[in-house]
Amino acid sequence: MPELMKGKRGLVMGVANDRSIAWGIAKAMADEGAELAFSHQGEAFGKRVEPLAESVGSSFLVDVDVNDDASLDAAFGRIAEEWGSLDFLVHAIAYSDKTELTGRFINTSRENFRNSLTISCYSLIEVARRARPLMPEGGTILTLTYQGSNRVTPFYNVMGVAKAALESTVRYLANDLGPEGIRVNAISPGPMKTLAGAAISGGRKTFRHTEMNAPLGRNATLDCIGGTAVYLASDMGACTTGEIVTVDGGYHVLGMPRFENI
């Protein structure tokens, strides 16, 4: 079996548990021979991430809150010290106050707007700036988005705006870093049953609706998302940057649901 990520080292940010999209990506990367470091948000998540990291042969954990510059500096400092370079980075981080992932969009507060966009979008710029000097021979940066960025999805609210900004950020970073051989792409999975997914009101209905109507009749899986991440981060994706790759059973091509489902 070919090991598409053999000899490549990557930092995976955003594993909270074994249902996290970042974990699906980490497993796929490890299966293809990558060496991994993990960032976790705080000690409680650290305890959950530790055994998962161990199961893919990694004991390289760093505690990062993307709102805390010092924790970002420390994490990238350690990578520079221990590895000297980085081949890929996975940014699977998003946050909005749960109370605004329900009800009407018009009630979005300034504080939660600022916080959601800072954590879910601006943090990609922060990590890209720190990863860049560690990628002198080029590298890959991946983030995660959702189609609520360009189509209204019930209760996705401010996260839709944050994901639209994130997708635009992917294009600007891709253009900025392309001449240095650093590729920046996003994967846009359909709804997944994760901690972040559970924060969105009516998440189960969105999951079921997508599954019922998607051309493939199925939702995304951690394995499918992981496989897409391997393609984008490996040399197979060497000519692809600034792209949003959708992994949703084809749901995004629909103009309206099947008649039998209306």
Ligand X SMILES: NC(=O)c1ccc[n+]([C@@H]2O[C@H](COP(=O)([O-])OP(=O)(O)OC[C@H]3O[C@@H](n4cnc5c(N)ncnc54)[C@H](O)[C@@H]3O)[C@@H](O)[C@H]2O)c1
147 is in an annotated binding site: no
Give whichever of 6 and 205 is closer to ligand X, judged by the CB atom: 205
Determine if residue 163 is labeled as part of a ligand binding site.
yes
95 has catalytic annotation: no
Rounded to a whole number of angstroms, the minimum distance from the CB of residue 258 to ligand X is 22
Ligand-binding site membership of 20 (annotated):
yes
Q: Does 119 bind ligand X (CB under 6 A)?
A: yes
Quick one: 143 or 234, whose CB is closer to ligand X?
A: 143
Q: Which of residues 39-98 bind ligand X (CB under 6 A)?
A: 41, 45, 64-67, 92-95
Minimal distance, residue 200 CB to ligand X, in Å: 7
**Cβ neighbours around 150 below 10 Å, total:** 15
In the block, residue with structure tokens 């893919």: 56
Q: Which of residues 141-200 bind ligand X (CB under 6 A)?
A: 144-146, 189, 191-192, 194-197
Q: Determine if residue 202 is labeled as part of a ligand binding site.
A: no
Contacts of 139 (CB under 8 A, 6+ apart): 86, 87, 88, 89, 131, 181, 182, 183
| Annotated catalytic residue 172 | no
* CB-nearer residue toward ligand X: 76 or 95: 95
Residues 15-44 that bind ligand X (CB under 6 A): 15-16, 20-22, 41
Total residues contacting ligand X by CB under 6 A comes to 27
Residues 236 and 190: their CA atoms lie apart, in Å, by: 23
Q: Which is nearer to ligand X, 7 or 51 (CB)?
A: 51
Q: Which of residues 214-253 bind ligand X (CB under 6 A)?
A: none
Within 133-152, the residues that bind ligand X by CB under 6 A are 144-146
Catalytic-labelled residue, pool 95, 146, 172, 231 = 146
> What residues make contact with ligand X under the rule CB under 6 A?
14-16, 20-22, 41, 45, 64-67, 92-95, 119, 144-146, 189, 191-192, 194-197
Residues labelled catalytic: 146, 156
